[in-house]
């Protein structure tokens, strides 16, 4: 039974139940309704299609979450490796100031490049 006509405020469970009722009862009320053929075509599998789309959306969401977790993990690993390399470089060239200045400049540029790359990857994962 459909309790109200407030479709735009349906939760997923309410929408699922509403479409299930429509799909399984439409054939018995179609002679009374005399709905147009496009409504009849929609009603014959509206529940099945909705459940399929919700399932696909759930899988896509899980994949997105997995990719975000992987990107975060790799970002942390990259930061750790970077810090190790930075300390190693500074200790190797501690007595050579011009090389350290050049290294700091390159470090700053590289950090910006990496931050931009991570930002773009995060935007792709969000989609």
Q: Which residue has the tokens 């309704």?
A: 33
pLDDT one-digit tens code per residue, 53-70: 999 999 999 998 898 888
| Cβ contacts of 19 within 8 Å, gap of 6 or more | 46, 47, 50
3-class secondary structure, 127: coil
At 76, list the tokens: 């942390």
Residues 57-116: pLDDT tens digits?
A: 999 999 988 988 888 888 889 888 888 887 887 777 667 667 666 767 777 777 777 777
pLDDT at 22 over 80: yes
**Whether the predicted pLDDT of 37 surpasses 70:** yes
Token output for 83? 């810090």
* pLDDT higher than threshold 90 for residue 35: yes
User: Does the structure show a pLDDT above 60 at 1?
Assistant: no
More confident residue, 120 or 2: 120
As a whole number of angstroms, the distance between CA 73 and CA 11 comes to: 34
| CA atoms of 21 and 94, how far apart (whole Å) | 75
């Amino acid at each position: 039974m459909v309790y109200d006509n407030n479709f735009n405020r349906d939760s997923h469970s309410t929408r699922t139940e509403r479409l299930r009722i429509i799909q399984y009862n439409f054939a018995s009320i179609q002679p009374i309704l005399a709905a147009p053929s496009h409504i009849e075509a929609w009603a014959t599998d509206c529940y099945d299609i909705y459940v399929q789309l919700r399932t696909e959306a759930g899988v896509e969401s899980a994949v997105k979450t997995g990719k975000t977790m992987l990107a975060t993990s790799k970002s942390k690993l990259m930061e750790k490796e970077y810090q190790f390399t930075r300390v190693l470089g500074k200790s190797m060239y501690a007595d050579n100031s011009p090389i350290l200045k050049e290294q700091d400049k390159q470090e700053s540029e590289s950090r910006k490049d990496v931050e931009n790359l991570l930002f773009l990857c995060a935007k792709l994962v969000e989609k």
